[in-house]
Copies of this chain bind each other. A is one copy, B any other.
Amino acid sequence: MGKVGILGATGYTGLELVKLLVNHPKMEIAYLGSNTHKGKRVSEVFPFLEPFEVGKLQFEDYENIPPDVELLFLALPHEVSMEIAPRLLEKGYKVVDLSGAYRFKNLEDFKTFYGFEHKYPDLLEEAVYGLPELFREEVKKARLVANPGCYPTATLLALYPLLREASDLILDDVIVVHALSGVSGAGRGLKQHFHFPEMANNMFPYKVVGHRHIPEMEFVANRVSPKGWKVRFTPTVVPIDRGMISTVYVRSKKFDIASLYREVYKDEFFVRVVDQPPKSKEVANTNFAFVYPAYDERTETAVVVCAIDNLLKGASGQALQNANLMLGYDEGEGLKHLVPSIV
């Protein structure tokens, strides 16, 4: 059993990792870090985990990680991740970082979109963007994987075949992306507008200009096809606990979009090309991405919809997919059994 640890184990992504690892046939949780809850047993904070082995483990502060741990998941704030990642790598741990700290290379963008100066440009250069369907071979060899954001995951999976195989047909370098997210995407921290009585039966766009996930989307889009793509991105929060749907609009000449998408993704277990617009619940509680490609002749626009679970394929599921690759396991271990929830 490969030993792994989680730093920031009591946020939503940390908790999802715990829930996944409980059933992982090849990995074992050897360390759970939480500054907020250190010293408590896991089942004190999450009583529903008591039936599982992990329930008896204890949260610890971010020190004293056992030396036989092979890989650490960082479910921490961006700046904390930026600081802590190099130290962990130095000690010989592999790292999957779920924050935004190592997702793109442009230092200027960290200032503009994240508001801090990145201190480790070399490590930034080394970090591998952990979207396995795009960069699987790199992930296998990586010491540090930057786990993609939820919006970029859904968006890039929607764009990838088009950018890779049909970028010559594209008529405009601006890609419009309109995405919807369940509220868990905003994390576990309390905010007035996410207080249940106000968020129930409600929905709203936010950060209409300048959302943090933009540089990440543009960086990867241009790595796939270096033509100066710009992303025009609007996120919207809807009253569901988990789930995400991203719709991308690309002005392009006509082509057989369905065939292209089926071809590109034909060997991917977790990315499925579907015949009908996907429902978020069809992928909730799984690591699947359902991709629906369409072409609108009237407006010469390729429209692609991608649905994922923002906490799984959009965060912790993908982190585990990456960890599997980094430790030499089958990519789907601990993930393939997850059956979509419908009711």
Contacts and interface: CB of A to CB of B under 8 A. Distances in A.
Interface stretch (A60-68, A137-145, A333-341): A333-341
A238 interface: yes
Contacts of A105: none
Given A51-B272, A208-B294, A230-B299, A197 B182 contact: yes
Given A15-B343, A51-B272, A303 B180 contact: no
B277 A48 contact: no
Nearest to A214: B298
A280 to B, nearest CB: 5
Contact of A249 (B191, B232, B303, B342): B232
B208 A284 contact: no
Contacts of A276: 47
A106 interface: no
Interface residues of A, number: 91
A125 interface: no
B23 A339 contact: yes
Interface string A184-204: 100010111111111111111
A134 interface: no
Contacts of A167: none
Nearest to A295: B209
A318 to B, nearest CB: 16
A174 B296 CA distance: 12
Contacts of A184: 197, 343
B337 A23 contact: yes
Given A190-B191, A202-B281, 5 more contacts: A23-B337, A47-B276, A47-B282, A196-B196, A201-B240
Q: Which 9 interchain pairs have the tightest Cβ spacing? A: A178-B178, A204-B279, A184-B197, A202-B281, A48-B340, A196-B199, A232-B299, A190-B190, A48-B282
